[in-house]
Structures are given as structure tokens and as C-alpha cells.
Structure 1
Amino acid sequence: MGQTPGLPAGLTRFNTTDDGAAEAALHEVCASRAWGSKLLAQRPYATTDALYAASDAAMAELTAEDLAEAMAGHPPIGRPKPGDPTSSREQSGMAGASDALKAEMLELNLAYQEKFGHVFLICASGRTGEQMRDAVRNRIDNTPEQEREIVRVELGKINRIRLTRLAELAEGDAA
């Protein structure tokens, strides 16, 4: 498979790989099948911006059930999936947190999950443990409807970061 001039290597690979591999790659970005199906159906993408626009449009159309499916693919803040470098990288702000902060996040995560029925979702990349703690404290008093729309925005940010990695990764690079 040759490199398409002007396109990042990963986007060329994504555009030209078989549907099964492309679907698996999208599922690593976002666990929502509806979101993945919409992006898969629009291949090939002429630019990364076109991929991002398709992602944003698909995200805006997700139902509450689709969002729940997407959130199910995310571990709680402070407890990245073991052996998952993406999860660990995205939650690195909690890696150096004190035991007290980790315990507080666990308590807040449980209270949030009890209220909303799903994990607390935030685009954790670049945030400190304290910033994530403050965010869950601020959001726990939201209504379910308010929180669903905040989750949609946060999930869109996460997807954008992950799509950027997918589009830019050269053959053989670690995800």
C-alpha cells in the first residue's frame, strides 16, 4: 500500500485498509458502534479535517443509548485499564497523585456513577489529578440531561485526540 501524497501515513492506511480492520481501529477510538459505522461509511477521507468533521457530526447524532455504549469503553478516572497504553497515557495526570487524592477520586467516581449510572467521563489528557477532582465535584450536581451533553462534548474531545493519533501513526508505531 503506497502513501497518498499530502496525507498522513495513518490516514492513508485507515482509508485503504479493509472494513474489518478499519472498524476495529474506530472501536479503539470510540466504543459506540453507531459512531464507528458513520465514520466507516464515509471513507476515504481527503484530509484529517474531513475525518474530524465526520466524527463531530456523528457525535452530535448519538442517542443516549449510543453515548452509554461509548462511555462503557472508558475506565474510571484514576483506574486506567491494565495493560492499555492509551488509557494510561490519557490518565497520566492521576499517576503521580497522592494516595489521598486517589482515594477521594474513587469516592467521587462512585458517587457520580451512583447518580448518573455511568463512569465520570472527562478528556483527561493534560489535566492534573486536582483538575479532574474539581471537575467531578462541579459536575455531580448537574441534571442527567446537562451531564449527557457535557459527556458528549468530552467524548468528542477524546475522539479527536485518538483520531489524531490514528491518522498520524506510521506503520509499526505503537498506539
Structure 2
Amino acid sequence: MNLEQLNRLSVEEATHTFMQCCTASSWVEAMVLARPFIDEQALAYQADLAWAGSIEADYIEAFEGHPQIGNVDTLRKKYANTKELASGEQSSVNHASEQVLLDLAQGNSDYLDKFGFIFIVCATGKSAEQMLALLLARLPNNKITELANAAQEQRKIFHLRLNKLI
């Protein structure tokens, strides 16, 4: 899809398309209404502007659009082979050890219990070990700090997805 095609989508089609980038309904609505975009910079600017107006409920809604990495079987599949990773987004991942997978599953569970939302990180180019280190580094944070961290990671994610879209 190119920018011209995005601008010409029906409201329903545009809503579906932007939901693939971020599931916060207020963000999606703002993006749909902001069309037409004159260029990719305008698209990126509007994405940031819409996100800047978000509140905690919007962040949580966006986070809920991500799958939770919570069980070891899912993690084994995710980190089994770098060539099998979704869209090459984690191209630097090496085979993860069983201990790292167990620690990631436990850390994700601890994070959810503490903050009430799943661990959000822009995973592009990060190994399982790096993901674990980031999770463990953020786990001691308070909820306000962590909500801001997760919101910033979500912002990185929707920018990557918008770039893939166009």
C-alpha cells in the first residue's frame, strides 16, 4: 500500500488498517480523521500527535493488542530459529537457552502481576537475552514510570508498523 491508497480507504478500511498498527481506538480514530496525509512525515507526525493525547486507558487498550509472552512453549517457538521469526523483526536473535526462556516466562508473569499489563518492548533486532535484560531492568520501576516506558515502546512499534504499511 502507498500513501495515496491509504488516503483513499473507506473509514472502515482505514480503521482496520490502523488497528494493525495500534489497537488504541482513540489513536485509530484520530489517524482515520487526520487523512489525507500529504507525505510520510505528516503521517508520522500525526501518529505522534494522536499518541501524545493518550491517557492510561488508551495505553492499556494498545498493550492488550499484543500477545502476551507468558508460557515457555510459546517462547521456545519464538526463539527456536532466527529464520522463523516474524517478518525478520528480530534478526539478531540466536538460539535461546532453556534457562533464558524460563526466566523470560517468569519475568513476564511477574511484570503482569506487578503492573497489570503485559511487558511491551519494541523487539526488533533484540535477542531473547536482551529482551530478558530489558524486562529485568524495568521490573523494579513504579507503575507510573513503567507505563511511560511501555507507552514509548508502543510508539516505536506503531512507527515500525506504519513504515511497513507504506
Instruction: Give the aligned residue type for 2:23.
Output: A
Q: Give the paired residue count.
A: 154
8 A contact 1:94–1:128 mirrored in 2 = yes
Residue 147 (str. 1) matches residue 151 (str. 2): no
**For each residue in 1:32-66, what CA deviation from the matched residue of structure 2 results, as whole angstroms up to 9, or x when unmatched?**
00000111111010111111111111111111001
Residue 29 (str. 1) matches residue 21 (str. 2): yes
Q: Provide the aligned C-alpha RMSD in A.
A: 2.0
Q: Look up the SS of the partner of 1:37 in the other structure.
A: helix
Instruction: Give the aligned residue type for 1:11.
Output: L
Q: Percent of pairs identical after alignment?
A: 30
Determine which structure has greater relative contact order: mean sequence separation of CA pairs < 8 Å that are 6+ residues apart, divided by chain length: 1
Match of 1:88 in 2: 86
Residue 63 (str. 1) matches residue 55 (str. 2): yes
Task: Name stretches of at least 5 consecutive residues in structure 2 with no aligned partner.
Answer: 78-84
Instruction: Give the aligned residue type for 2:96.
Output: A
Task: Name stretches of at least 5 consecutive residues in structure 1 with no aligned partner.
Answer: 1-8, 168-175
Match of 1:3 in 2: none
TM-score, with length taken from structure 2? 0.85
Name which of 11, 20, 34 aligns with 2:12: 20
**For each residue in 1:87-132, what CA deviation from the matched residue of structure 2 results, as whole angstroms up to 9, or x when unmatched?**
8334566683222211110000000000001110000011111111
Match of 1:173 in 2: none
CA offset at residue 75 of structure 1?
1.3
